[in-house]
Amino acid sequence: MADENRTEQPKFFQRKSTRELTLKSIVYLILGLLSVAFLIPFLWMISTAFKDPALIYKSPPIWIPPEFILDNFKRGLELMIPSFEKLFTNSFTITFLSMVGTIFSSSLVGFAFAVFKARGKNTLFTLMLATMMVPMPVTLIPQFILFTQLKWIDTWRPLIVPHFFAAAFFVFMFRQFFGTIPRELFDSAELDGCTPFGLYWRIALPLAKPAFATAAIFSFLGSWNDLLAPLVYLNDLNKFTLSLGLANFQATNYTLIQYLMPMAILGLIPILIIFFLAQKYFVQGIVTTGMKG
Amino acid sequence: MSIGLKVKAKPLDEEEANRPNFVMRILRKAKQREKVGPLARRRERWFYAMIAPWIIGFIVFQAGPIIGAALLSVADYSASKGITWVGLDNYAMMFEDPLVGRTLLNTIYYTFVSAPLGLIAAFILAFFLNQKVRGVNIFRTVFFLPTIIQGVAVYMLWGWIFNPRFGLVNNLLKLIGINGPGWIYDEKWAMPTLIIMSLWGVGWMMLIYLAGLQDIPMELYEASELDGASGWQKLRYITIPMISPVTFFLFITSIIGSMQVFAPAYVLTRGGPGYATTTIALLIYFAAFLWKRMGYAGALAMVLFVFILVVTLVQFLVAKRWVYYASEVD
């Protein structure tokens, strides 16, 4: 775990004071340049979206438009099929239900792995970790056939229901988290007559708010950004997710940059809001599990 | 070190780790079995009841489909006709299909360029962030942000940035007198473009590296300073070996991830121009859902699966040569 309060850092660039100063400024210069490189795509997107379309193709590029116009957003929204609100609501519904399913099922399984002793537990845990390595394209087609047999194609069910059966990544995360709760807490609650499910529901869950937040965010992003599953399972435009709608929009209007960029911005806003609200949980989650969503 | 594979390898209960040897372990296990009381048995039942969601999900959505993919690879399937067995025809077909070799090479190209470059970039970012800089949180946010938003909207943005005629990159290149290439519209440059895009998302690896760097004991650096080690020597003989378990973990996961890359290529190039960016994952998608050759797609999926398993296994075998675990010495 990262120790946030650690003040001492290994000294790579600090030997003599003048040299130290130059090296330090080099570090800042490099970090600054890299930051610019990382941010430029965003700035360019914003600049394009608010520009008069006539100025978009100018060379050298115009970074700050003489006037900021909202017309591109308006016209872009008119071109979205079915409508941006529809796609947004669809994505939100699917993402929300998947998220609820993921965090409750995964926390329950993670709790069991962390707290109970049982024969075969370690084998099962290893097996579960191994499933993280199974590539998505391998299971995709048999799952597609399964959902075809169930007549779930062109419904949201294939996108939501599997999330209610715990995901290895989140189970691992919750197991790591519940492992840090002192065992005595569970032991004494059990002596007081708490049922094993009660240990999960009444003791572990209320303590697991940070882990819940982390899992919720990762699960939200995973569903929100997912393209492959909606692409495979949905045919009806009215059921499309925002990702799928945007991919569609890009494919049909790829020359209309002035409308693509505003729609890309609108697509990113929900994610950006979540990111800035919950940045601390992201960092925690990645550092404790060592993985991305 | 609390990240990565070491966590997985650590047994949950101390008892288990302290068992002296094989014989004792069997004896103790036999003893335990006798001692399993009603309470322990009740807990065991609860354990299995609570992990039931995962077990069901594992059978229905993981193990079942893997067996399904294996069966499908020797069959053909259509919604109207159901399953017909075709033996090894699908595999035989692969040898005649020039696309298979092409997409395998594309996948290898993408994976073995983007994963190492990503690791190096992430390490460099983490290394500089670890130099007692002010505003580390701001830099961290900036570098991490692109990871989170990887999705269709971002691919749209890259499509515009790499637009050959009006895009930002060629526009800036023109200012310094370079005629930029066609990027995603150029067979040679399409894959490098996707790799550059992937580098924008190294933030998650950077965070893990940063945590790993902060776990390296300060004493090691202090001791080496007394011996007069230079900055480069400290990096080469302390930081890089000490961080190698993290590198190993990130390498394994990013290789597995890269070999399945689908969305950026699908959104930006649809596998083109020609088949320059058709990866195995894209070919599987095309075969199954455009050409409706489910059995063939199943066979391709098995190839991808075996490919990933072999690459991962080789990495674990080679790891002994370069991954250093501090605990092995203590």
DSSP string, B185-249: GSTTTHHHHHHHHHHTTTHHHHHHHHHHHHHS-HHHHHHHHHTT--HHHHIIIIIHHHHHHHHHH
Q: Does B252 lie in the same domain as B115?
A: yes
Tens digits of residue pLDDT in B236-259 = 888 999 888 889 888 988 998 899
- Residue A10 phi/psi, 5-degree rounding, is -55, 140
B120, B62: one domain: no
Q: Does B262 touch chain A (CB under 8 A)?
A: yes
Average pLDDT score, chain B: 83
Does B54 lie in the same domain as B126?
A: no
pLDDT grade for B267, boundaries at 50, 70 and 90: confident
Final residue before a domain boundary, out of B34, B60, B89 = B89
SS3 label, residue B308: helix
Q: Are B193 and B183 in contact (CB under 8 A)?
A: yes
Residue ranges of A 175-194 with Cβ closer than 8 A to chain B: 176, 179
* ipTM greater than cut 0.90: no
Are the C-beta atoms of B199 and B117 separated by less than 8 Å?
yes
Phi, psi dihedrals of residue A59, rounded to the nearest 5°: -135, 135
pLDDT at A89: 92
Between A and B, how many residue pairs show a Cβ–Cβ distance under 8 A? Answer: 311
B18 touches chain A (CB under 8 A): no
Choose the closest CB to B53 out of A133, A136, A164.
A164
Are residues B157 and B207 located together in one domain of the fold? yes
Query: What CATH number corresponds to the domain at position B280?
Result: 1.10.3720.10
- Angle (nearest 5°) at CA B52 between A129 and A140: 55
pLDDT tens digits, one per residue of A193-252: 888 888 888 888 888 888 888 888 888 888 998 998 999 999 898 999 999 998 888 888
> Poorest-confidence range of A10-14, A282-286, B44-48, B226-230?
A10-14
Q: Are residues B126 and B244 in the same domain?
A: yes
| Greatest mean pLDDT among B28-32, B86-90, B112-116, B152-156 | B112-116
| Whole-number Å distance between alpha carbons of B41 and B27 | 20
Find the farthest-apart pair of alpha carbons in chain A and give their distance in angstroms, rounded.
75
Instruction: Let me know whether B124 and B270 are in one domain.
Output: yes
- Distance, in Å, from the CA atom of B154 to the CA atom of A264, rounded to the nearest integer, reads 7
In this structure, the answer to whether residues B51 and B104 fall within a common structural domain is no
Q: Is A111 on the interface with B (CB under 8 A)?
A: yes
Higher pLDDT: A293 or A39? It is A39
The reply to whether residue B166 touches residue A56, judged by beta carbons under 8 angstroms, is yes
Last residue of a domain, one of B89, B113, B147: B89
Q: Which domain holds residue B115?
A: 92-328
**What's the confidence (pLDDT) of residue A191?**
84
**Nearest CA to CA, how far is A225 from chain B (Å)?**
5
Residue B7 has pLDDT above 60, yes or no: no
The minimal CB distance from B263 to the residues A113, A133, A228 is found for: A228
Asked if B35 is an interface residue toward chain A (Cβ–Cβ < 8 A), one would say no
pLDDT tens for residues B106-131? 999 999 999 999 999 999 999 988 88
B155 contacts on A by Cβ (under 8 Å): 250
Do B55 and B113 reside in the same domain of the chain?
A: no
Say whether both B77 and B132 belong to one domain. Answer: no
Residues B224 and B140 occupy one common structural domain = yes
- Note the pLDDT of residue B292: 86
Kindly tell me the burial class for residue A272, based on how many C-beta atoms sit within 10 Å of its own C-beta (0-12, 13-18, 19 or more): middle
pLDDT reported for residue A17: 75
- Residue-wise pLDDT tens digits, B54-83: 999 999 998 899 998 888 888 888 767 777
B3 in contact with A, Cβ within 8 Å: yes
* Structural domains for chain A: 17-69 (no CATH), 79-289 (1.10.3720.10)
Amino acid at the residue A88: F
Residue A16 reports pLDDT greater than 70: no
- A11: pLDDT strictly greater than 80: no
Higher per-residue confidence, A1 vs A48 = A48
- B152 and B53 part of one domain: no
CB-CB under 8 Å, B266 with A231:
yes
The tally of domains found in chain B comes to 2
B141/A265 Cβ within 8 A: no
- Share above pLDDT 90 across residues of chain A, in percent, rounded to a whole number: 19
Q: Residue B23 — very low, low, confident or very high, per pLDDT cuts 50/70/90?
A: low
Domain boundary at B89, B114, B146, which?
A: B89
Which range has the top average pLDDT, A265-269, B20-24, B37-41, B76-80?
A: A265-269
With CB atoms and an 8 Å threshold, state whether B301 touches A31. Answer: no
Facing A260 at nearest CB: one of B147, B156, B234: B156
Please check whether residues B78 and B96 belong to one and the same domain.
Answer: no
Give the model confidence (pLDDT) of B75-104 as tens digits.
888 767 777 788 788 888 888 888 899 999
Q: What is the pLDDT of residue A8?
A: 60
Residue A50 has pLDDT above 90, yes or no: no
pLDDT at B54: 93
pLDDT confidence band for B5 (50 / 70 / 90): very low
